Chains A and B, each alone.
Chain A
Amino acid sequence: MFASSSTSRRRVERPALDQALRQRVTPIIPASARTLPVAPALAPLLPGGSLRRGTTTLVSGPVGSGATSLGVSLLAHASHVGHWCAAVGLEDPGVVAMAELGLDLRRVVFVPRPRAGWAEAAAELLDGVELILLQPPGRVPHAAARRLVARARERRAALVVVTATRDAWPLSPEVAVTVEHSTWQGAGTGEGRLLARRAEILVEGRGATRAERATVWLPSSRGEVTLAGQHR
């Protein structure tokens, strides 16, 4: 089901290190290579201020609560600076809204209706893109989730899963963001328009030391997803 791709690396002959020096140096990977950037306004929400490669971020919230907007805006900055994204399982994506949230549509691949093949499609795309926004249909089987997470870790890609409920994703993600409550502002009895949405969110996960509550605009009246307040 998940065909492994063969990557061929060319071996380069390097001069041997001095024995004394070898004991002192440790191989490092620059921090920027281990993470994918998020918009500065959202950075305080995530441990380390960015999306870590190879990890899963779960964004859950009922239909219409703004979970999809939040998921999209987590990817937006990375796509803007040149990383490729895929949106799998978002059946009817509002691409105009995604562009408004900052996603660079030139670097987004959509697989809107993979139906039963969503896990396979996501796994296949993990070979090609660095971020995946996944909206699985209903509850995710344990095995499928585990395979996907392992694949994301192996390919060093960031997986952002958007679900309606927290328990639709069977594993414990590195970061779990739950939209608990959201209210729209701007519409009344005919006048105005839907202008800004204020959402109470709960951020928890293995990376964060403890659960944190925050208020975010999804989006604000200026069309940006920003943090309105953070309280522990």
Chain B
Amino acid sequence: MERVAVLWFPGLSEEGPHGSEARAFADALDLVAVHCPFVTPVRLGLATLPARAPSRFYGGEEAVVALLRAALEDFGLRVATPVRLGLADGLFAGVMAAREELIVPPGATPAYLAPLPVSVLRRPELAAICQRLGLTSLGRFAALDAERVFERFGTEGVHCHRVARGELGELEGISDPRITARLRALGEPPEPVAQPSFFGGTSLAEERAARAAIRLQERFGPQSVQTALLRAGHDPAERGELVTFGARASSPRADDAPWPGALPAPSPTTVFATPRAVRLTDREGAPIEVSTRGLLSAVPERCAIAGDSRTVAVVAWAGPWPLTTRWWDRRRTRARLQILTETGVGLLLAAERGSWLLLGRYD
């Protein structure tokens, strides 16, 4: 399992009335990033970084911890919070080690976790039941048979069990998924979106829309409200991009220069952010492949989309249109295919490395 160093700032773990904690935390991470790359926030006041490469570079894990402590000394005095550093296998053990400021040697994680109480898993129900069963420590919980744990506690129990055994590094619920976006948003102060309107300034309607969008962002998080940008590209997913409302455009707008290999209009009305896997088969049920010359291996007959139990018949198809990109670097060859199912639904598929993905649907 990966060696991770964990930085814990007890004084920054709770959100204060002025919201200064997030800013101080972001400053601390900047200080750390000067010495060690890839430091990632886990939640407010808690950050982690992979320790293997820095410990080789600085000559040992003790040296890394000493260096980080020195780097954060001034910072700790300034915001009046101590920093606790720990180093262990996996995030969960790392957090435990940071509480006690320990370096747990490689491979010693299960032994280190064993005497800790079950309550450190932050599952009050599980802890209460374990207490009644006489399982007072993580080690005794870990010694249970995995199947028995599943019967009694379900999948979540199994997850905790694997963490307790040191087989799994990260405990679910330990990280705050929004923290990275939050810290990034601190770096760039929110500005009202200013796009010149017809008379140059911003129009009243635009201000009203921006205000409503910002209110929504405050309520549901900045990522919840987005605007669309068009750019040049091959696939619909490349050509249209959703960006967080208020963020500055990262690239210029689409130019009108020809873009060989792009699919012509109409484009799919639904473009999946995470394309789903598709099983495309011929009459005998054998999977359809695209040859190196860009031809289908057989006539597509049936199509099954992952997550959908039904298999539908393919009544018409168009393509495949092969496309090779990044030939100078990591050659990427994919083929796009439009199919029409028996229910009259048009789908856009792509084949890459022998498997089919659903790119979009013509809704």
Contact = CB atoms under 8 A, between A and B. Distances in A.
Interface of A: 62-69, 72, 82-84, 86, 90-100, 105-114, 117, 120-121, 124-125, 127-130, 181-184, 186-195, 197, 219, 223
B236 A94 contact: yes
A65 to B, nearest CB: 7
A113 B318 contact: no
A116 to B, nearest CB: 10
A68 to B, nearest CB: 4
A95 B271 contact: yes
Contacts of A112: 226, 242
Interface string B220-259: 1000111111100000100111100100000000000000
Chain B contact residues: over half helix, strand or loop, or mixed? mixed
Q: Which of A114, A125, A184 has the most CB of B within 10 A?
A: A184
Contacts of A191: 318
Given A99-B240, A193-B319, A68 B216 contact: no
Contacts of B211: 127-128
A168 B285 CA distance: 37
A63 B206 contact: no
Contacts of A82: 198, 203, 205
Nearest to B217: A111
B363 interface: yes
Q: Which 4 A-B pairs have the closest CB atoms?
A: A128-B212, A64-B345, A95-B240, A68-B363
B182 interface: no
A84 B267 contact: no
A127 to B, nearest CB: 5
Interface stretch (B41-49, B75-83, B327-335, B336-344): B336-344
Contacts of A127: 208, 211-212, 215
A192 B245 CA distance: 38
B362 A194 contact: yes
Given A128-B213, A182-B344, 6 more contacts: A67-B363, A94-B269, A97-B269, A113-B224, A187-B340, A219-B265
27 contacts: A67-B363, A69-B362, A82-B203, A90-B270, A94-B267, A94-B269, A95-B230, A95-B240, A96-B267, A97-B267, A108-B228, A109-B213, A110-B227, A110-B228, A121-B220, A124-B216, A125-B213, A127-B215, A128-B208, A128-B212, A130-B205, A193-B264, A194-B318, A194-B346, A195-B266, A197-B362, A223-B265
B268 interface: yes
A193 B318 contact: yes
A112 B319 CA distance: 30
A231 B296 CA distance: 43
Interface residues of B, number: 58
Contacts of A84: 205-206, 208-209
Interface in B305-361: 316-319, 338-341, 343-347, 360-361
B227 A68 contact: no
B144 interface: no
A20 B84 CA distance: 84
A192 to B, nearest CB: 5
A92 B271 contact: yes
B299 interface: yes
B218 to A, nearest CB: 10
A91 B203 CA distance: 29
Contact of A93 (B206, B228, B362): B228
Contacts of A67: 363
A128 B204 CA distance: 10
A97 B266 contact: yes
Nearest to B235: A96
A35 to B, nearest CB: 16
Contacts of A120: 219
A72 B318 contact: no
B346 A184 contact: yes
Contact of B267 (A91, A100, A109, A189): A100
A22 to B, nearest CB: 31
Given A95-B228, A112-B226, A189-B316, A219 B266 contact: yes
B205 A93 contact: no
Q: Which of A92, A109, A112, A182 has the most CB of B within 10 A?
A: A92
Interface in B262-316: 263-273, 296, 299, 316
B210 interface: yes
A125 B208 CA distance: 10
Contact of B219 (A124, A128, A181): A124
Contacts of B241: 95
A65 B226 CA distance: 26
Contacts of B224: 111, 113-114, 121
Q: Which of A93, A129, A130 has the most CB of B within 10 A?
A: A93
A86 B208 CA distance: 12
